[in-house]
Structure 1
Amino acid sequence: MKDVLERESKWAVDRNFTLPRLDDLVTNSRIEELPVELTSTYFDTAERDLLAHDLTLRRREGDDESGWQLKIPHSRGRVEVTARLSDELPHELAEVVNGAALGRPLNAVATVHTLRRRHRILGSDGELIVEIDDDTVDSTAADQPAELLAWREIEVELGPNTDKIPTILRDRLAEAGARMASYPSKLSRVLPERTGPAATNSRAERAVHEYMTTQIDLIFVGDVGLRRGEEPIHDTRVATRRLRSTLRVFGKLLNRSAIGEIDNELKWYAALLGDIRDCHVQRRRLAEEINALPPELILGPVAARIDAALLARQLPSRNALAEAMNSPRYLRLLATLQTWKSQPPFERRIRRRQLVKRARRAASKADRRLVTALHNHRHESLHRARKAAKRARYAAELHKPVLKPARARSNIKYYKKIHRLLGDYNDSVVSTDFLWRTATAAGTAVDENGFTYGLLYANEVHAAEGARQRVAAVAAGE
């Protein structure tokens, strides 16, 4: 498969639109013009699950773009993943969208035929600066084959080293009567988004629903990334934790029968992600500490042994995650989360004071646990305080829209700092345990000893105590 970052904009025009002059947009450039005919068959589930996540899967046949194409949202546009043309959907593309499709079968949902007049503006070195496509389109939806939809549009796609549409081009298109299209893609025009009844009524309900929807969307984004071999472990795990925290803190305001066992299922998934994330953190953390040591204090293959030991844990954890992500259990979890986007698990009207009350309870619990932990200095107490601070932080984030902005920002900032410092403390505690076990193995190996591991261990003990003291200072208002 091949990945290409696509950055394009679409412009709506009428049938009589005349494309403005293009040959003087860029100094020392030239234009390549080419007529292209394209036929694209789009695939999705009957419920349009891919479209719901802005994923576009199509089989394209044309003069120069034949093949399978999957378009994935990206912060700078869309990533187009391509595979060779074949009769059947390539397995590697089917796997990437399996989570978003909830394991459901993919079938043809629309056919789009495009007569394109392509204008490629090339620099003096032959590199593409911008491409302007004048498209005449007709399409049919699979469930309404007798209804033909036809329109004309302009697509402007940036070259690899072009940051934005040239101002002169934007101005000329607007002067000629073009306007930014209301549809982000051709498919979204053929298959408009299905809208259900209003999911929320009160401001408090909207706050809960929007917060939950944001986390659910991030979980689905992480699913696609993980299936592509990327490592969005941290963001996916945090979204899972935020959603689980919402169920824990505000659960009594929700429909318990609708929530069911989702809390446990999110805990299960977060644990799978956490096994990998912990290895990532330790590998990076200890590699940085070793690099910071004077060379004469590094006795033996310390870095290699540590990295090998952590990799030996990380790879099986990654395999376990991949296996779980294709299990019926995981797909059922995603299906429930997808349903919550349009039908949130609300049992009765949620009011502002209820959100504020439960967020304050979470904050009070975090404060109590922190006092206890700072008093007895026990690892277990500090760990419980960290989890409580995390829930207080996420609760503050959720009910921010119904709280005074300054108060909300203050609460989020405070519990975020406590959560982060206790996280640093926990990372050091985990590192000391790992270093002790690794030093034990290295001490019995030929040509190795435990000196450097002991030095690293002492540094981590010192770091843990420093983090604990910083937490105490923040709690004391210093």
Structure 2
Amino acid sequence: MASSATAGTTYLISSQGRLPRWQDILPGTRHVEHPAPEHRSIYLDTAGRDLRRWDCMLRYRTPGPDREAGWELVVPGGKLGTELHIDSDTSDLAPDELTAAVAGLTGGRPLRRSVTVDTGEHRHEWYDRNDRLLARIGVETVAATVIGEAATVEQWQQIHLDISDAASKKHRTALTAALARTDAAPTPQRGELDRALATIEAHFSLATPAGKAADKVVRARGVLADYLDTQLEAIAAGDVWLRRGLDPIHPTRVAIRRLRSTLRTFRKVFEPTQRSWLDSELYWYAGVLGQVRDVQVQRVRLAAALEDLPPELVMGPVAARIDTDLRADERHRLDEVLRTLDSDRYRTLLATLARWRIQPPLTEEADRPRVIVKAARRAERKADTRARTAADGEDEQALHLARRSAKRARYAAELAAPLLGRHRAKRTISHYTRIQQVLGEHQDSAVATDLLREFGARAGTTPGENGFTFGLLYGLELQAAERARRQAAEVTT
């Protein structure tokens, strides 16, 4: 029963609930009613509800209040999330642009009508004598048809309440009493698709994504599930970007690194066989993406270094050589990524990630906060040891291991922050981020010297070019590497 009328709240009306005479509930005010035409939403998905598994939404909407008719695609994923709207007068066939974008998430399986939702709304508004809006109530009647082996129809009514600051306590009390008489109960904010599918989730063996449901009752398991879900969504959203011709390489690789780090740092909380297989496949896919990212980083790095040189020290078409060669290499490697998206191996990986998002193979250890905390602190100790070892010597492999361990310690602190304490986690993340950045600078310099040596040798044997400037840049990168090594010693002491 509605105990209080809260602004911005949605109420679900029971089947026995009776609506009041809205024009009478706020005496002394002006009541305005806005009957709105019915509108329809048509949701598409595969027979196995693949888009649902990723919390994606592809739908056609008929004209409605404040909207044009057309198609809409929504893919979660943080910074890589996608929202596309295409105006259209027909719901017969989804635009190729949208179906192609989700081809990876659907596994190439055909899309069909999954759910239709018909909604009719009456909106009621109340104004005071100064014509100020006091409150607005929207009463929706919804009929949802879920299309599976047989059509299932669900119907409900809901009320959306918004109260303005101009409403008095008396107005709020009257609204509360009116809602109480309808037996309306506050309900969590939930999309029409979620509500329509709620009654058949078990039939399709589709649990709610693990990070967003009952598993949160177990704090440690919920922390793990939330972190996993964020990385899995980002990887899937990166797939959509790639298919749209955009560049999600860096954030997708970061999500993969975070996911692999979680699998390794917190290995006890995962079923061993599935954990090992996923780690191996993510390593493979990250390597494909990494070939593109490495070229991107070096193209930007070398162009910036060249800009810093006095013009008289830039001899020959150095900028053109760097830009042309590296862009061609980037294009070649990106083509390989796109071919990978259509491989059976990659499709299997993405399908596995979808299953992990719904039900990650966690062990009983995932229910124990101390297991997660101990693993995060163990990652910190390992990172500290490797960082000190690397700073004391000149072993390139030791520097690489130290950088990798710093990343893992940082990511472990990100995941375990609710268990470690936000303040402590923030300090830890900042510390290992600094180590990671310094050692990353050293790594980038090492890669740059290899490239510059190759460019210099090529320029020395090409008419109209010479290797002087490349040699100069080579020397500057050696200095940058040494500087990074010294900084590493400072931040690890």
TM-score (norm 2): 0.75
> Is 2:76–2:233's contact at 8 Å kept on the other side of the alignment?
no
Distance 1:407 1:247 in 2: 23
Match of 2:86 in 1: 82
> Mean Cα displacement is larger for which, 300-309 or 199-208?
199-208
**2:220 is matched by which residue type in structure 1?**
A
Structure 1 residues 322 and 191: alpha-carbon distance in aligned structure 2, compared to 1, 3 A threshold: same
**Other structure's SS at 1:50 match:** helix
Match of 1:42 in 2: 43
User: Which aligned pairs between 1:214-233 and structure 2 lie closer than 5 A?
Assistant: 214-233=230-249
Match of 2:272 in 1: 256
Distance 2:362 2:265 in 1: 14
1:232 CA drift (Å)? 1.9
1:41 CA drift (Å)? 2.2
The answer to whether 1:147 aligns with 2:140 is: no
> Mean Cα displacement is larger for which, 64-73 or 364-373?
64-73
The CA RMSD measured in Å over matched residues stands at 3.9
Distance 1:180 1:292 in 2: 62
Distance 2:217 2:191 in 1: 31
Deviations 1:239-277 (A, max 9, x none): 101111111122134211332411110101111121111
**2:98 is matched by which residue type in structure 1?**
L
**1:222 is matched by which residue type in structure 2?**
G
**Other structure's SS at 2:103 match:** coil
Distance 1:44 1:101 in 2: 8
> Is 1:43–1:109's contact at 8 Å kept on the other side of the alignment?
yes
**Other structure's SS at 2:145 match:** strand
Distance 1:11 1:325 in 2: 41
**Other structure's SS at 2:155 match:** strand
The structure carrying a bigger helix percent of its residues is: 2
Bigger RCO of structures 1 and 2 (CA < 8 A, at least 6 apart): 2
The answer to whether 1:425 aligns with 2:431 is: no
1:290 CA drift (Å)? 1.8
Aligned residues: 433
Distance 1:136 1:228 in 2: 37
The answer to whether 1:186 aligns with 2:192 is: yes
1:279 CA drift (Å)? 1.6
The answer to whether 1:392 aligns with 2:392 is: no
Deviations 1:166-203 (A, max 9, x none): 9999xxxx999799984454333322384469547643
User: Which aligned pairs between 1:150-229 and structure 2 lie closer than 5 A?
Assistant: 151=157, 182-183=188-189, 185-192=191-198, 194=201, 195=207, 198-199=214-215, 202-229=218-245
Unaligned runs of 5+ in 1: 1-8, 19-32, 119-132, 157-165
> Is 2:140–2:159's contact at 8 Å kept on the other side of the alignment?
yes
Residue number among 293, 310, 320 corresponding to 1:304 in the alignment: 320
Distance 2:298 2:113 in 1: 46
User: Which aligned pairs between 1:461-476 and structure 2 lie closer than 5 A?
Assistant: 461-476=478-493
> Mean Cα displacement is larger for which, 416-425 or 145-154?
145-154
Distance 2:166 2:273 in 1: 58
> Is 1:199–1:343's contact at 8 Å kept on the other side of the alignment?
no
Match of 2:304 in 1: 288
1:434 CA drift (Å)? 0.8
Distance 1:279 1:322 in 2: 16
Match of 1:346 in 2: 362
Distance 1:461 1:225 in 2: 37
Larger radius of gyration: 2
The answer to whether 1:110 aligns with 2:115 is: yes
Structure 1 residues 374 and 148: alpha-carbon distance in aligned structure 2, compared to 1, 3 A threshold: closer
Deviations 1:302-328 (A, max 9, x none): 111101111122112111111212222
> Mean Cα displacement is larger for which, 209-218 or 40-49?
40-49
Distance 1:175 1:78 in 2: 42
> Mean Cα displacement is larger for which, 438-447 or 370-379?
370-379
Distance 2:36 2:419 in 1: 55
Structure 1 residues 153 and 65: alpha-carbon distance in aligned structure 2, compared to 1, 3 A threshold: farther
Residue number among 240, 262, 268 corresponding to 2:256 in the alignment: 240
Structure 1 residues 92 and 435: alpha-carbon distance in aligned structure 2, compared to 1, 3 A threshold: same
> Is 1:109–1:142's contact at 8 Å kept on the other side of the alignment?
yes
1:62 CA drift (Å)? 5.7
Distance 2:422 2:270 in 1: 25
- Percent of residue pairs identical: 42
> Is 1:199–1:342's contact at 8 Å kept on the other side of the alignment?
no
**Other structure's SS at 1:192 match:** helix
Structure 1 residues 81 and 268: alpha-carbon distance in aligned structure 2, compared to 1, 3 A threshold: farther
**Other structure's SS at 1:468 match:** helix
1:278 CA drift (Å)? 1.2
Residue number among 374, 377, 380 corresponding to 1:360 in the alignment: 377
Deviations 1:431-458 (A, max 9, x none): 1111111121122222211122122212
> Mean Cα displacement is larger for which, 177-186 or 308-317?
177-186
TM-score (norm 1): 0.77
**1:393 is matched by which residue type in structure 2?**
R
**Other structure's SS at 2:198 match:** coil
1:228 CA drift (Å)? 1.9
Distance 1:302 1:168 in 2: 67
Match of 2:463 in 1: 446
Match of 1:370 in 2: 387
1:421 CA drift (Å)? 0.8
Distance 1:425 1:17 in 2: 70
> Is 1:202–1:349's contact at 8 Å kept on the other side of the alignment?
no
Structure 1 residues 385 and 35: alpha-carbon distance in aligned structure 2, compared to 1, 3 A threshold: same
**2:225 is matched by which residue type in structure 1?**
H
Residue number among 323, 327, 348 corresponding to 2:339 in the alignment: 323
> Mean Cα displacement is larger for which, 35-44 or 297-306?
35-44
The answer to whether 1:71 aligns with 2:77 is: no
Structure 1 residues 465 and 152: alpha-carbon distance in aligned structure 2, compared to 1, 3 A threshold: same
Structure 1 residues 13 and 442: alpha-carbon distance in aligned structure 2, compared to 1, 3 A threshold: same
> Is 1:373–1:385's contact at 8 Å kept on the other side of the alignment?
yes
Distance 2:459 2:337 in 1: 30
Deviations 1:200-248 (A, max 9, x none): 7643333322222221122122222222222122111111011111111
